[in-house]
Structure 1
């Protein structure tokens, strides 16, 4: 029996490219099964292509996995809705919305990163794919700077430091729950209130 052509086996819908098909397949595997023990062979099987076909479209496995991880993060973000715009609502309520978004995002994506902690090349490629201003941290810092420019935050507000505090809060809550099943997966409402108060008024406020 003649072996099936890898390109023919991919059966791409709507004339899509095989490269995109491979990224979409890898993203789906990550979403459904996580990344622990994920192999290029498993992705090839899911995509109905021969193992070597992947290397016709990617320089190495790290490139494919980084693109798939990026696609996974983008898909998660699309399901989280929009973030408040500068100058709308109140700064307090908007920052609470940013925290809620950050917590939900990290809960959804951090499990996918755990399988790559031992593969720094994948994480480095992932970092290279993100443009400045695209991720939640950049948008949070940009929001704070915009509110400062609008006069809704003090002229001397240290917005980058404030953003780091909020990012660190989200990381601490989600990572604690990821590695300790006894840790709460949601912070108490007063904890978020206190966080926003410290960001806006300082630790002595």
Structure 2
């Protein structure tokens, strides 16, 4: 490690490696300005290192952004609080909490996703970094399966399909704003009656 790099980490990086420092810097920039116009040079300067240092610790810009975006999502999720545990409260209330969580999560990551539509390699690597069972969608499916095992929903309930319906609504609600050119702060909150209607459709269906 060069003296300059060592100084950067001594001045505030703690035990963090230079690779972790670069990812943390990129994550901070994503949270502050999104991903539009984010460059290796800009990240390197914000990190206080030479432009080419990145390639000594990461394969390329796509890998850096994928890790930074994954870290950004984890930071957002920590700020959203805990999701309800199976068996606690009511299924209806718990589904409302999951839906509100999903909507807030998607709205918060919209600025980052907006700048990556034209960078499919970053999105592909971001997906590859997912740890099984930790994403909100996986946790929603796990919650519904646990409630089914507890007998609080029907024993033959198609919980994967129910989860897909909820995730689809969250995607449609938030990502449709992207195609209209709206920024995340402009996204209007989903009214509670709309969430209630979704919960009813999931739990009771639409058949006669």
TM-score higher than 0.5 here? yes
**Contact 2:114–2:178 at 8 Å: present in 1 too?**
no
TM-score (norm 1): 0.93
- Measured in 1, the distance between the counterparts of 2:86 and 2:42 equals 44
Residues 70-105 of structure 1 show CA distances to partners (whole Å, capped at 9, x for unaligned) of 000000000000000000000000000000101111
- Measured in 1, the distance between the counterparts of 2:187 and 2:26 equals 31
- Measured in 1, the distance between the counterparts of 2:148 and 2:172 equals 27
Deviation at 1:184, TM superposition (A): 5.7
**Contact 2:9–2:16 at 8 Å: present in 1 too?**
no
**Contact 1:173–1:186 at 8 Å: present in 2 too?**
no
Give the counterpart of 1:198 among 198, 201, 206. Answer: 201
- In the alignment, is residue 11 of structure 1 matched against residue 12 of structure 2? no
**Contact 1:173–1:185 at 8 Å: present in 2 too?**
no
Q: How does 1:160-171 map to 2 (within 5 A)?
A: 160-171=160-171
**Other-structure match for 2:97:** 97
* Secondary structure in 2 matching 1:10: helix
Unaligned runs of 5+ in 1: none
How many residue pairs end up in the alignment?
Answer: 202
Structure 1 184/52 Cα, relative in aligned 2: closer, same or farther at 3 Å?
closer
Residues 171-197 of structure 1 show CA distances to partners (whole Å, capped at 9, x for unaligned) of 11112334445x862222211111000
Deviation at 1:11, TM superposition (A): 3.3
**Contact 1:30–1:112 at 8 Å: present in 2 too?**
yes
Residues 136-164 of structure 1 show CA distances to partners (whole Å, capped at 9, x for unaligned) of 00000110011001100101100000001
Deviation at 1:57, TM superposition (A): 0.5
Cα RMSD (Å) of the superposition?
1.8
Deviation at 1:131, TM superposition (A): 1.2
Unaligned runs of 5+ in 2: none
Q: How does 1:48-197 map to 2 (within 5 A)?
A: 48-180=48-180, 181=182, 185-197=188-200
- Measured in 2, the distance between the counterparts of 1:123 and 1:173 equals 20
